[in-house]
Amino acid sequence: MLENQYNFYKNNENDKIWWVDTFDQVGVWLFSFDKHKIYNMFADYPHNLTKKEIFDKENPYWKNFFEDRQ
């Protein structure tokens, strides 16, 4: 189970996105919607996301950043 392998955290208590602590890697942004499947923001956004609307709502900065990928 991924919960035992990774440290998951939320930026805000009410968020739906779980971020994955990558303290041993620089420039890697991993997240999950359910703690079972982990996405890499730079490799998977937006085409591989199952819940892109949730990600965009909670992360408007990154939605803007990746605007050319829409």
Between 1 and 65, residue with greater pLDDT: 65
**Per-residue pLDDT for 5 more than 70?**
yes
pTM of the model: 0.85
Burial of 22 (0-12, 13-18, 19+ CB in 10 A): middle
Tens of pLDDT, residues 23-63: 888 888 999 999 999 999 999 999 999 899 999 999 999 99
